Structure 1
Amino acid sequence: MSITEKAHRRSSRSLKALFGVLFATIVLGVTLAGGMSPATAAETPTPAPAPTEESDFTNTYSIGGVLRNGDEVLEGVDITVEGDGFSETATSDEAGEWEVVVPGKAEYTVTLEVSTLPDGVELRNPDAASSVVTADQWLTTSITRSFPMGEDTRETTGFGAQLLQRLVSGLNFGLLIALAAIGITLIFGTTGLNNFAHGEMVTFGAIVAWIFAVLLGVNIFVAMAIALVFGGAFGWVQDALLWKPLRRKGVKLVQAMIVSIGLAIVLRYLYLYFIGGETKAMNVGLSEAVQLGPVRITVASIISMVISVVVLVLVGLFLTRTRIGKATRAVSDNPSLAAASGIDVDRIIRIVWVIAGALAALAGVMLALYRQVSWDMGFQILLLMFAAVTLGGLGSAYGALVGSIVVGLFVELSTLFIPADLKYAAALVVLILVLLVRPQGILGRRERIG
């Protein structure tokens, strides 16, 4: 048999193994879907009746608002809406609310009748008694107009206070990224795999915690421990059913990376199917804010930062002080030499997957407390996790920690100068600039090529 034929047979066996894994994943998803259908799919909704001419709510347009003077609602104040040949006056009720139904999308002038204001109440800006609603502002069927009353008592925040607030938020966010990014770098160091499904492991932990803490009413710290166990088990199952068989079949890293992308897509849309697309509130009684000087921070953020620091210290001690941790570092440095020294490489990789799954789940719980739960929350920060790992140095756990802190701080501090929508992109720009100066990352080691 020629070398070409042998290579062709090996390639065929690898493809069969890959398709077998994907088929098993699909069968598992279908099985779960059959036994655990979401409430929204439990019964076919009855279509809403089409609007009739007597009840054509789709063509009802209104302009309204609420009148307040501080905490006091203003009753009996007249508001006139006129334009396009239409004019009508509404009076605020006991809740301070007023509303005028208008004929359609057109330009209207909304005027507050200052003479009807209670004694001692004045507009904050006397020249703002009228407001214009233009035709292109009708994006919905209702428009709100407000008329601020009295002295503006809002406190302005100086740049220094904003800087401290952003620093604390950036440190918190960086620690969250570090919990997940260390798992990525441990997997890469021991297997060489860039796992693009790691974001879904983060989402998995958040969903488990939300189910137990919110739906089942379990204490949040108990739910956190449960999420850790489930996350570790999820990592174990992934390696046992998918990654170890692929390693034994000799699947190359590029093909394995593509499998991880496919797995991420499958998991992401399974989450969407089971929990829906709306954001889930993590209402566990930790949203109360604490004022520490100029910094305002929630109890959930304080707990998140403390837990993150403790866990990261424990991971560092595990890698440097325990036999399994030293074996993990040996496998990361040279798997062949580690195997020749009597280290069970497959066992170490399995332990790494369990640790990575548990850390990702914990990061998901912390992120849920920080920004609520959604089906794609892990995917939203996946690039930031890879940026942190690459910035700190691929394969270095301490580099992942340093890179995560840098990314977290830059993401939050950048909002002082650029729109918040661009903050993630700004972090990736920093990654590019650092790698142009130091390609191996902050704590990465130079490698000889050739």
Structure 2
Amino acid sequence: MNRTPPRRGTAVKALLLLVLTALLSALGVGGLSSPAYAADCAPDASTACVQGVIKLASGEPAPGIAVTLSGGGEEQETTTDATGKWVFSVTEAGSYTVAVDEASLPEGQFFRSADSREVEVQLNSQASALFPLTDDPEAVQQPAGEDEDEAATAGASRSSADPFSWPRFWQQFVSGIRMGLLIALASLGLSLVFGTTGLSNFAQGEMVTMGGLLAALFMGLTGNLWLAGLLAVIASAGFGWAQDKVLWKPLRKKRLSLMQLMIVSIGLSITLQYTFQFFFGSGVVRIDRGTAETITLAGVTLTVQSYIAMGVSLLAIIAVGLGLMFTRFGRATRAISDNPALARASGIDVDRVINIVWVVGGGLAGLAGVFFGLVFNGLNWFTGGTMLLMFFAAVTLGGLGTAFGAFVGSMIIGMMVELTNIWLPGDLKYATALLLLILILLVRPQGIFGRKERIG
């Protein structure tokens, strides 16, 4: 029986539904937004609010940044949420000092001017403090007599006038390699599941989120980062095993269509999102609250955790690739991907191989979640959901169902996202990666490493 038409149709419908989901998410439908300041601090006759937003040099929110407020006989501490917001509530008028912990800044980010501000606070009012960031070390000097608003404006104009520099290019280039490797970890599992079952798993992003959140949980229990990461990966792999045994295998035996299975995965994704939010809250969860050490090599500055993440990710990807090429399990996986009915007739235990694929995919997604949480200084309940579009883009770009194609597609997406950040602000950089995907599919619909298949 020719399986090509339903798979091809499912892939197209999956992409259409994915785009719709992303649009609804961007419009605030299907997800809970972060609480507004009005709910956190409401100024009145006995209360004043001190608040602000910290954004990266690219214009993206900077979550997990430690902020302290001192003065009036008290000292408070908080961290920025997923949108980069921070807020304090005070009950006495007077002068307060707001300071940002430089150690909590992501690597490659610097204060454009000072790391602390003096603010005058009056009751029944709001006060704010700005901390503009830059990724150019040469731009941190503030001209004499220039206040913080002028510094931010002048810095933005200087950046927009001459955004390109070779040091920044190489910094973004290495960041692109790092991003590509992290996307590849999650995309490999997504590609393997699609190759063996034909399922476009929309819950893959939540499996990534689960890995990071479990790492934070185990870090609080054990106090050892390596042990916490290992336990998170094992738990994620176990969840992949249980997911197939409890949900997907029974549904396959009932001969549900791929479209029905995909809708179930969307429902599972939404369920997991709200489960994470219920247990971990809507704020940023940090795995390691210690000071991240940085290393500068050839003018590129990254944290030690970033170097470790890149190295371990590359080793994991190579191990999966070698396993698929030279082991009995790898040959069985490729046989099922080519023709499940023939593989079963040849004596291959298809259900057992698919279950192992889910275990491997869950472990890789959990490992990606751990590294996302460490490299980007925290994650929240919707981190995987925001990256899901990148995972699907990488798999589709490289070729549906091909592990090597997923890796190459991930590296291309990662490089495009980070390099275009030199010129494009905020989340607009993701649009270039998707535009590249559309252009390549117009020329080569099967993806870079996909095979042409005759329909009919």
What is the TM-score with the length of structure 1 in the denominator?
0.68
CA gap of 1:242–1:216, structure 2 versus 1, over 3 A, is same
Q: CA deviation at 1:222?
A: 1.2
Q: What amino acid sits opposite 1:374 in the alignment?
A: N
Determine the structure 1 residue equivalent to 2:435.
Answer: 429
Q: 2:412 aligned to 406, 422, 427, which one?
A: 406
1:78-115 superposed Cα distances (whole Å, 9 cap, x missing partner)? xxxxxxxxxxxx9999x99463759989xxxxxxxxxx
Q: Which runs of 5+ in 2 are unaligned?
A: 1-38, 52-93, 98-115, 127-141, 153-161
> C-alpha separation between the residues in 1 aligned to 2:447 and 2:40?
58
CA gap of 1:49–1:398, structure 2 versus 1, over 3 A, is closer
Determine the structure 1 residue equivalent to 2:307.
Answer: 302
Q: What amino acid sits opposite 2:166 in the alignment?
A: G
Q: Is the 8 A contact 1:286 1:300 kept in 2?
A: no
Q: What amino acid sits opposite 2:202 in the alignment?
A: F
1:29-56 superposed Cα distances (whole Å, 9 cap, x missing partner)? xxxxxxxxxxxxxxxxxx999988xx44
Q: What amino acid sits opposite 1:266 in the alignment?
A: T
Determine the structure 1 residue equivalent to 2:200.
Answer: 194
> C-alpha separation between the residues in 2 aligned to 1:50 and 1:239?
48
Q: What amino acid sits opposite 2:435 in the alignment?
A: V
Query: Secondary structure in 1 aligned to 2:183?
Result: helix
**Are 1:449 and 2:439 matched, yes or no?**
no
> C-alpha separation between the residues in 1 aligned to 2:311 and 2:121?
52
Q: 1:227 aligned to 213, 228, 232, which one?
A: 232
> C-alpha separation between the residues in 2 aligned to 1:342 and 1:187?
20
Q: What amino acid sits opposite 1:358 in the alignment?
A: G
Q: Is the 8 A contact 1:229 1:358 kept in 2?
A: yes
Q: Is the 8 A contact 1:181 1:385 kept in 2?
A: yes
Determine the structure 1 residue equivalent to 2:394.
Answer: 388
Query: Secondary structure in 2 aligned to 1:216?
Result: helix
1:180-232 superposed Cα distances (whole Å, 9 cap, x missing partner)? 1000010000000000011111111111111111x224311111111111011
Q: Is the 8 A contact 1:232 1:357 kept in 2?
A: yes
Query: Secondary structure in 1 aligned to 2:296?
Result: strand
Q: 1:363 aligned to 360, 365, 368, which one?
A: 368
Query: Secondary structure in 2 aligned to 1:297?
Result: strand
Determine the structure 2 residue equivalent to 1:240.
Answer: 245
Q: 2:350 aligned to 342, 345, 353, which one?
A: 345
Q: Is the 8 A contact 2:47 2:124 kept in 1?
A: no
CA gap of 1:101–1:435, structure 2 versus 1, over 3 A, is same
Determine the structure 1 residue equivalent to 2:47.
Answer: 57
Q: Is the 8 A contact 1:203 1:377 kept in 2?
A: yes
1:114-159 superposed Cα distances (whole Å, 9 cap, x missing partner)? xxxxxxxxx9446x5xx7xxxxxxxxxxxx77899xxxxxxx9961
Q: What amino acid sits opposite 1:342 in the alignment?
A: G
Q: How does 1:163-174 map to 2 (within 5 A)?
A: 163-174=169-180
Determine the structure 2 residue equivalent to 1:20.
Answer: none
> C-alpha separation between the residues in 2 aligned to 1:317 and 1:182?
13
Q: CA deviation at 1:288?
A: 1.1
**Are 1:212 and 2:218 matched, yes or no?**
yes
Query: Secondary structure in 2 aligned to 1:366?
Result: helix
> C-alpha separation between the residues in 2 aligned to 1:238 and 1:278?
27
Q: CA deviation at 1:352?
A: 0.5
Q: Is the 8 A contact 1:412 1:423 kept in 2?
A: yes
Q: What amino acid sits opposite 1:326 in the alignment?
A: R
Q: CA deviation at 1:425?
A: 1.9
Determine the structure 2 residue equivalent to 1:30.
Answer: none
Q: How does 1:238-277 map to 2 (within 5 A)?
A: 238-277=243-282
Q: Is the 8 A contact 1:287 1:300 kept in 2?
A: yes
Determine the structure 2 residue equivalent to 1:99.
Answer: 120
> C-alpha separation between the residues in 1 aligned to 2:42 and 2:392?
50
**Are 1:439 and 2:429 matched, yes or no?**
no
1:294-341 superposed Cα distances (whole Å, 9 cap, x missing partner)? 211110100000000100110011101111111111111110110010
1:347-396 superposed Cα distances (whole Å, 9 cap, x missing partner)? 11111011100110001111111121211111110010000000000000
Percent identical residues: 49
CA gap of 1:406–1:99, structure 2 versus 1, over 3 A, is same
CA gap of 1:365–1:98, structure 2 versus 1, over 3 A, is closer
CA gap of 1:61–1:180, structure 2 versus 1, over 3 A, is closer
CA gap of 1:100–1:326, structure 2 versus 1, over 3 A, is closer
Q: CA deviation at 1:421?
A: 2.1
Q: Is the 8 A contact 2:193 2:361 kept in 1?
A: yes
> C-alpha separation between the residues in 1 aligned to 2:96 and 2:191?
61
Query: Secondary structure in 2 aligned to 1:296?
Result: strand
Q: CA deviation at 1:398?
A: 0.1
Q: Is the 8 A contact 1:339 1:345 kept in 2?
A: yes
Query: Secondary structure in 1 aligned to 2:427?
Result: helix
CA gap of 1:445–1:414, structure 2 versus 1, over 3 A, is same
Q: Is the 8 A contact 1:61 1:101 kept in 2?
A: no
> C-alpha separation between the residues in 2 aligned to 1:334 and 1:197?
25
Q: Is the 8 A contact 2:46 2:124 kept in 1?
A: no
Query: Secondary structure in 2 aligned to 1:373?
Result: coil
Higher Cα Rg, which structure: 1
Query: Secondary structure in 2 aligned to 1:420?
Result: coil
Moved more, 367-376 or 296-305: 367-376
Q: CA deviation at 1:293?
A: 2.2
Q: Is the 8 A contact 1:205 1:365 kept in 2?
A: yes
